Structure 1
Amino acid sequence: MDKKFEPLFEKVTLPNKVELRNRFVLAPLTHISSNDDGTISDVEIDHIEKRSKDVGLAISAASNVNDLGKAFPGQPSVAHDSQLDGLKRLAKAMKRNGAKAIVQIHHGGAQSMPYLTPNGDVVAPSPITLQGDEKHSPSYEKEEHHAREITQEEIEHTIKAFGEATRRVIEAGFDGVEIHGANHYLIQQFVSPYYNRRDDEWGENKLKFPLEIVDEVVNTVKTHADENFIVGYRFSPEEPETPGITMEITEELVKHLIEKPLDFLHVSLMNVHAKTREGKYQGEERIKLLHEWIDGRMPLVGIGSIFTAEDALEAIETKNIDLIALGREILLDHNFINKIQNGKADEIMSEFDPYRKDNHDLPPNLWEQFNKGLYSLPRTDGK
């Protein structure tokens, strides 16, 4: 290995004293390959095992905590005890080569798709109408769908569902969970003034819902797991909607989260060096701000447009993030980390080749989405 890449392979110790073998994280990647009932498929296990083998921390695809939260076809589920057998197989596969394996627990909220939920029912903090998510829909449907306001009772049941999902993850043998509070899904929707226009306690205090979920998950861990179980939280720092989540709102969220017994925070970005859009922090790198606010309390995971070994090194050398998550790149080349370790960084595949299905070793459904250009990434055909 080229000596300059050694910082990428430094060990990282989490607040709960669990040690990660390097700074690489497998990002929670949508693969649309689980069985229709949310159980784990053979294709999915093979796909995730290949991409878990060299990272320090591996995060599974977003897994819905109840049936109302299903946001895309082929989504894995942690909503029922009947799904435990497949989850146990997935845990073993992800951990087989030494990675710490965690499940991202998720609820789609307004982004859930009516054709995937019971009776076509979709809920959100407040009533809202959205376009279909053609990125995840196999029919690329563009029809609008409506989300009704979630009731107080349903809010409480949903919080409990995140706890029950955590219990199943523990029983399946995983090393932890990541709470999915990003990407316009339900938890983020409660934080957002665009989605959350409620006039009750859940609207007046928009951080109440995510923080109660964190407490529920932490209490479940205390009851059912040991001190080595990892709990992380993922968030999106800004929204394009008006009025949406701003960096000022995220600053408040982060300052509450670092007071919780969490083991890492994970910022969702398309580019790890992205800058703040507006407000008093306009033009400043989001990662730098987040690093300052976290103040060393727990590791920060960064992600976004890391396609080469040099990209990964540059991100770590900023000293603003502790762990670097690989998303689109590890889909293109699951040997990304191994090639760096073995002095073959120049052999990393960083472009999608639509004429070579054998190049990327993707599940068939995911390969088709790549081929149709539904993901922003470098391509050999320039499209």
Structure 2
Amino acid sequence: MDKKFEPLFEKVTLPNKVELRNKLVLAPLTHASSNDDGTISDAEIDYIKKRSKDVGLAISAASNVADIGKAFPGQPSVAHDSNLDGLKRLAEAMKQNGATAIVQIHHGGAQSMPYLTPNEDVVAPSPITLHGDRAHSPSYEKEEHHAREMTQEEIEHTIKAFGEATRRVIEAGFDGVEIHGANHYLIQQFVSPYYNRRDDAWGENRLKFPMKVVDEVINTVKAHADEHFIVGYRFSPEEAESPGITMEITEELVKNLIEKPLDFLHVSLMKVHSKTREGKYQGEERIKLLHQWIDGRMPLIGIGSIFTAEDALEAIESGNVDLIALGREILLDHHFIHKIQNDKADNILSEFDPDRDDKHDLPPKLWEQFNKGLYPLPRTDRR
């Protein structure tokens, strides 16, 4: 291996003393490949095994904690004890070659799709109608749908659902969970003034819901796992909506999160060096601000348009991320890390090629989404 890439392969110790073998992370990628009932499929096992084999930390696809929170077709479920057998197979596959394996626990909220939820019921912090161009489902549904306001009882039940999902993840043999507080899904919706217009305690303090979820998950871990079980939190730092989440709101969120016994924070970005849109931090790199606010309390995972070995190295050497997640790139080439380690970085596949016979070893449904252009990424047929 070229010595310049050695920083990518330094070990990282989390606050709970778990050691990750390198600084490379499998991002929690939607694969659209679970069975219709949310149980784990053979295609999903094959997919995740290939992409977990070389990373230090592997994060599963967003897994819904409640049937009413299902946001896209082929989404895995952690909502029922009946999911456990498949989850055990998934944990074994992800850990087979030495990766630390965790599950991203998720609720779609307003982004849940009516045709996937019981009685086509969709809930959110406040009533809202989402149009086709507002839906963040990777299947890119074009029909608008309405979400009703959650009741107090439903909010409390949902918080407990995150705890129950965590218990199942522990029983399945995973090493941890990542709480999905990003990408316009339920937890982020409670933080957002765009989605959360409530006039009760859940609206007066928009950080109340995410903090309650964090507490519920941590208490579940204390009751059912040992001190080495990992708990992380993912968030999106800004919203394009107005009024939406700003970097000032995210600063408050981060400063609350670092007071919790979490093991990492994970920022969701399309470009790792993207800059703040507006406000007092306008023009500053989001990742740099976040790293300053975290102040060494826990590692920060960065992500966003990492398509080459040089991209990954530059992100780590910037000093503003402690771990770098591989998203679209590790879908294109699951040998990405192996090639860096074996002096073949120049042979990394960094473009989608619709004519490849192996179809990038993607599950059929995910390959179809790539081929339709539903994800922004370099392509050989659009140079």
TM-score by length of 2: 0.99
After superposition, give the CA deviation of every residue in 1:314-363 in whole Å (9 maximum; x if it has no partner).
Answer: 00001100000000000000000000000000000000001114151000
**SS state of the match for residue 358, structure 2?**
helix
How many pairs are equivalent?
A: 381
The answer to whether structure 1 residue 263 and structure 2 residue 260 are counterparts is no
Give the equivalent residue in structure 1 for 2:31.
Answer: 31
Is the Cα contact below 8 Å between 1:67 and 1:118 reproduced in 2? yes
Asked if 1:161 is matched to 2:161, the reply is: yes
Matched residues in 2 for 1:144 and 1:61: separation?
25
Conserved in 2, the CA contact under 8 Å of 1:188 and 1:235? Answer: yes
* Secondary structure of the structure 2 residue equivalent to 1:331: helix
Aligned to 1:179: 179
The separation in 2 between residues aligned to 1:101 and 1:351, in whole angstroms, is: 27
Using the TM superposition, give the Cα deviation of residue 134 of structure 1 relative to its aligned residue in structure 2, in angstroms: 7.4
User: Aligned partner of 2:345: which letter?
Assistant: A
- For residues 76-98 of structure 1, what are the alpha-carbon distances to aligned partners after superposition, in whole Å with 9 as ceiling and x for unaligned? 00000001000000000000000
1:141 positional shift:
3.5
**Paired residue secondary structure (2:243):** coil
| Aligned-partner residue type, residue 267 of structure 1 | V
Alignment root-mean-square deviation, CA: 0.8
Contact 1:135 1:374 in 2 (8 A): no
Give the whole-Å Cα distance in 1 for the aligned partners of 2:206 and 2:28: 25
Letter in 2 for 1:227: E
CA 219–120 in structure 1, closer or farther in 2 if over 3 Å, else same: same
Aligned counterparts of 2:250 and 2:214: Cα–Cα separation in 1? 16
Identity of aligned residues (%): 87
Query: CA separation in 1, counterparts of 2:25 and 2:41?
Result: 22
Amino acid at match of 1:136: P
User: 1:85-127 CA distances to partner (integer Å, 9 max, x unpaired)?
Assistant: 0000000000000000000000000000000000000000000
How much does 1:131 deviate? 1.9
Partner amino acid, structure 1, of 2:349 = M
Quote the residue 1:334 is aligned against.
334
Q: Matched residue of 2:283: which SS?
A: coil
Distance 1:304 1:343 in 2: 24
User: How far, CA to CA, are the matches of 2:104 and 2:141 in structure 1?
Assistant: 26
Query: CA separation of 1:107/1:94 partners in 2, compared to 1, >3 Å: closer, same or farther?
Result: same
How far is 1:187 from its partner? 0.1
For 1:15, the equivalent position in structure 2 comes to 15
**Alignment partner, residue 302 of structure 1:** 302
Task: Determine helix, strand or coil for the equivalent of 1:253.
Answer: helix
- Matched-pair contact (CA < 8 Å) for 1:265–1:298: yes
Q: Once the 2 structures are TM-superposed, how far is the Cα of residue 288 of structure 1 from its aligned partner?
A: 0.3
Corresponding residue for residue 246 of structure 1? 246
Secondary structure at the aligned position of 1:381 is classed as: helix
| C-alpha separation in 2, matches of 1:68 and 1:324 | 32
| Structure 2: stretches of 5+ with no match in the other structure | none
The structure 1 segments of at least 4 consecutive aligned residues displaced by more than 6 Å after TM superposition are none
Work out the CA distance in 2 between the residues paired with 1:134 and 1:142: 10
